Amino acid sequence: MMRVVLYLRLSDEDRDKLTPIERSESIKNQEKMLRDYALRQNWRIVAIYDDEDWSGADITRPNFNRMIEACRKNEVDIVLVKSQARFARDMEVVEKYVHDKFLEWNIRFVSLMEKIDNTKKETKKMSQIIGLTDEWFLEDTSHNIRETLKIKRQNGEFTGSFAPYGYQKDPENKNHLIPDERVRKYIVRIFQEYSHGVGIGTIARRLTEEQIPSPLEHKLSNGSHLKLPALNTHFFFNKITDPGEYVIRISYTNWSREIIQSLCTLEYLSNFSKFRGEITFRTVKDRKSKVYYSCFPLEKVIFILKNRKTELFSFLETSDICQSLSLGETLPKNATCLIMYTPRVDRLHENNYEFHVHLNENKQHLDFEYIVHSLFPDEKLTENYHIQIRKQFKWSMTTIRKILQDEVYLGHLVQFKTTTVSYKNKKLIYHPKDKQIRVENTHEPIIDEQLWNQVQKRIASHKKVSHDGKVHLLAGKVFCRSCGRPFYKCGKKDGHQLRYLCCKDKVNKWVNCTNRKYISEFTLHEEVLKRFNELLNQYYRVEVQIELYHQNNISESLTKRIEYLTKSMFVLRQELEKKKEYLQVLYEDFKKNYVSQEEYFSFRERYRHSIEKGKAELQQLENELSALEWRQNKEKMDCSYLEKKFTKYCSLSQLNVEVVNDFIEKIEIGEYDSVTGKREIEIIWTLD
């Protein structure tokens, strides 16, 4: 009897056209049609492969590749599909497998709708024509999708497959972003810590140590089907041997025709007790599912479960053989196996759950594996389980830096940063900034503009981080007055655990600069602190307050003048409108012969001259008003700016990053005078 596999696929393009129920029904109808045909031909169905919501141009389809592998191993005689397009829409794929590899492997390909059979030469041309038209369809679809996405981006609509970390897609509008309150605080924390002088590496290390899921971990744990083919070699394994952080994901898909009731599996933990480490229950997709653990020997657990005398769930809840495991709970060291119970698994439904494995030490170089046994209702269901062991994705400096420079957290969308060569060639092309599509104020910001500017200013200064994870307070601010080169750390630490600074011309053996005397960081900090407190005192002096009072009086006179100009412009516009109306009436009287031609031209010139004069006067008033409003706004901004800067401080006892970034533009160190024992230090404030 011929062995046949059925391949089913529902196009990714139909995702928005059909409801979930309609999609599943479409797959079932394909399966019923192919089953009936296979039975009429007396073929034996050995497997059914189903890729739902996958494009026919995507060669990474998981079950498509499993089917190809079964064909390569000679486990199949016939591949049966509803139409050739269900198999593939890519002409190259059709040629490679249908008319080349399948013939080489002695496999027959049958398409039910088009009557294509690769063992019959008369259907080859039909197959090639269909393959060509399918490819044209893909090309047109790709072009239309690109144009649609371009318009959406220009309108400020989010078009990405996944929302940026810190946001989620609005349930009522998938093209609009709303803050993800679960991780919003981490975004704010990253920006605040960096603005206060904490290094990028230190931030990444702290978040990892506190076991806060990285953006990729957060994405994967929330049901994302993100594909990472390039990382498979480095991050995915069949077993665990080396110490580290791992995530084990067990997924089950019901490929049978019926709903499965009371599915129970037993998962053996090989060599777990011999490791120095721990296993933590992390997530489960179906909240009705329950996980138990047992410390009894595996053989005894299997025997008791198979010979139970009560309903399975009641037995697991009341039996001493197992204990319930909660999310976030860690397995005891003497646990031998896990028991997973799911009350119901629908047709084509996937259920998955994850465990976090932390392996400290493995001196014996043992292999740690998950081995799944399906106990109820059918042992063969074990084949439908897929176990994925991968390293946990941690926070990295690259991730932190990307977050700190992403305008999405300011409420703006910058899209079209990358694209692909074509629908067939997925190589990324990076666009320069002038080709990217940027739209402001498209969604709620997480970071305010003041904090954003502080962070960008520090990033632009390229400040380096010391070994303790902190940035030197005056890094990027101190320069030599003689040659203009920066001062940098050199020499040993002094008694205050601070180093000395000197001109960078030292590396050239002082060829270009005569300012060779070192200066202690402590001395410089004390001088800057003294000067800043003097600046504070100057701001709070009575004279300054009087000056502010005069500025307020000036602002009052500006306001009065602006009010006068506004009223004058209103009256002048009314007069101009009346004169235009008179001119129109004059023209109508002339047409009706109420006034002579000579009188008409005389009055018209008079009105026109008056209107032109009024327009010039109005323009002059508008210019004056615009200048006064600009001056008024500037004074308000200046006063507000100074108040915001100064009112945070009455006095300062110690320098910090915030003060340095807010007030200091540059510090110039002059040459040391050996006679007086002093050197000139000039601080250029941002207020100047």
Highest mean pLDDT among 42-51, 308-317, 551-560, 635-644: 42-51
Using DSSP's 3-state secondary structure scheme, residue 160 falls into coil
Question: What is the predicted pLDDT for the residue at 18?
Answer: 42
Q: Kind and range of the H or E element at 459?
A: helix 449-460
Q: What percent of the chain has pLDDT over 90?
A: 18
What six digits make up the tokens of 629?
């409003």
pLDDT average, residue stretch 54-83: 88
- Compute how many other C-beta atoms are within 10 angstroms of the C-beta atom of residue 64: 22
- 106-163 pLDDT, tens digit per residue, is 999 999 999 999 999 889 989 988 888 888 887 887 788 888 888 998 999 999 888 8
Q: What is the mean pLDDT of the chain?
A: 80
Note whether 234 and 184 are within 8 A (CB). no
What six digits make up the tokens of 601?
């031209």
Quote the pTM value: 0.57
Cα separation, 600 vs 618, whole angstroms: 27
Q: What percent of the chain has pLDDT over 70?
A: 82
Q: Kind and range of the H or E element at 404?
A: helix 397-404
Q: How many helices (H) and strands (E) does the chain have?
A: 18, 27
| pLDDT surpasses 80 at 542 | no
Q: Which of 125-134, 184-193, 304-313 has the weakest average pLDDT?
A: 304-313
Half-sphere exposure of 604 (CA within 13 A, CB side): 14
At residue 488's C-alpha, the angle toward residues 486 and 494, to 5°, is: 145
Question: What is the predicted pLDDT for the residue at 10?
Answer: 77
Note whether 117 and 110 are within 8 A (CB). yes
| pLDDT surpasses 70 at 235 | no
Q: Which of 18-27, 232-241, 555-564 has the weakest average pLDDT?
A: 18-27
Amino acid symbol at 526: E
pLDDT average, residue stretch 351-364: 76
pLDDT average, residue stretch 35-47: 91
Question: What is the predicted pLDDT for the residue at 16?
Answer: 41
Cα separation, 590 vs 325, whole angstroms: 99
Residue 279 or residue 524, greater confidence = 524
pLDDT confidence bin for 370, thresholds 50/70/90: low
pLDDT confidence bin for 645, thresholds 50/70/90: low
Question: Residue 326: which of 290, 285, 370 has the closest Cα?
Answer: 290
Question: Residue 498: which of 531, 457, 468 has the closest Cα?
Answer: 468
Question: Residue 377: which of 263, 480, 289 has the closest Cα?
Answer: 263
Peptide bond into 377 cis (omega under 30): yes
Residue 59 or residue 233, greater confidence = 59
How far from each other are the two terminal CA atoms of the chain, in whole angstroms? Answer: 92
Angle, helices 542-591/597-646, rounded to nearest 10 degrees: 160
pLDDT average, residue stretch 181-203: 89
Using DSSP's 3-state secondary structure scheme, residue 477 falls into coil
Q: Is 106 exposed, middle or buried (0-12, 13-18, 19+ CB in 10 A)?
A: exposed
Cα separation, 211 vs 394, whole angstroms: 9
| pLDDT surpasses 70 at 192 | yes
Question: What is the predicted pLDDT for the residue at 350?
Answer: 72
Note whether 368 and 305 are within 8 A (CB). no
What six digits make up the tokens of 317?
């809840």
- 651-664 pLDDT, tens digit per residue, is 677 777 777 877 78
Cα separation, 290 vs 591, whole angstroms: 94
Question: Residue 568: which of 503, 624, 494, 650 has the closest Cα?
Answer: 624
Question: What is the predicted pLDDT for the residue at 166?
Answer: 92
Q: Phi first, then psi: what are they for 516, rounded to 5°?
A: -100, -5
Q: Is 110 exposed, middle or buried (0-12, 13-18, 19+ CB in 10 A)?
A: buried
Cα separation, 683 vs 531, whole angstroms: 8
Question: What is the predicted pLDDT for the residue at 98?
Answer: 92
